[in-house]
Structure 1
Amino acid sequence: LGHTVFVEASPHPVLTIGVQDTADATDTPIITTGSLRRDDGGLVSFLTALARLHVQGVAVDWRAAFAGLDAHAIDLPTYAFQRRRFWAASLRSTPGSAEVDHPLVGAVVPLPDSGGALLTGVLSLAGQPWLAEHSVFGVVLFPGTGFVELVLQAGLRLGCGVVEELTLEGPLVLPERGEVEVQV
């Protein structure tokens, strides 16, 4: 019927997955989201769902969403808002940094106060196309061995050549387009 945005208002949103899978199977561009979670409902969850829709380009009537609340608009920055990242894509030109010849790490910056170091890199399917092979249900995840490699590279630069244990709290999802900046 031409609908392109679906919000599931349910304490356990499970239909969004099926709706999204159906749209993907028919190459129909849609946006799906849930507005509640079990034991996590209320206004904050609802406004978070609206924010998710807003950042995906859905027009949201924010005045109506915040009606009756002590909310007020603030002035936008004086510069043109162009939806571009502020941070530099690479630290290679930062004073004190050194380039690293590694497929995942681009630069290392010494940390003078601690004697440690900060390794930075940029992960993208364009820059590391082999990462696309680590897909689960169409979502590209950074592999666990990649995390081990990042930590090992940091350790090698600081005289620690062994990773005894590494706990991952969640997956690192790589976008189809764009990049993810990493710091170790």
Structure 2
Amino acid sequence: MQLRVKSSLSAASSCQTFKQIEQTFGTGKVPQVFRLLKSQPVLLAHLWGQFHALVLHGDLPRVLKELVGLVVAAATHCDHIRVFLLHHLSQQSAEPEILAAIVQGNYDATGLSHATRAVLQYAAIAIANRTACGSVAKQQWQTLHHQTMQALEDTGLEESERLELIATIALFEQLCTVANLLHLGSESL
């Protein structure tokens, strides 16, 4: 059985993707999670493609999606992504007190709109309930599912925005999982 499959993407393609990442974040400011994937062109293109399509484009504001990423990073104990997003959001003039409150799960922090609080609350509930789904009975799962769906409804987002929000949560969960499994901490930025 052959375990290795040759990639159709070349090192040149990986370098091109990496240059695009550097243009977005700045030279020397690329998160380690992307730097480590430079030798894996398919994985790098996949994760960067998702990030590029979801976070940098779409109907929801980029800052809101990065705040959702911060909620995911805090919930998954991913220091690497959390510190990167805190730094990046600070550069975009986000108030440190609000960012600290979000990391602590206090979405009622002053300065956040009702809509933003609802989106962050949904992200937190969705992650907590998805994580719990494997360890609860069917009746509890139905309750958690209802709670998650109600939180999504409370966001007031349109259907396409809801899908974008769900995909953003899934992307940041994926990035946090990769960073955590690679044991990337805040010092590896």
| Fold similarity call, TM over 0.5 | no
Which has more strand, going by share of residues? 1
Which has more helix, going by share of residues? 2
Greater Rg, structure 1 or structure 2? 1
What TM-score results when the alignment is normalised by the length of structure 2? 0.28
What TM-score results when the alignment is normalised by the length of structure 1? 0.29
Higher RCO (C-alpha 8 Å, min separation 6) = 2
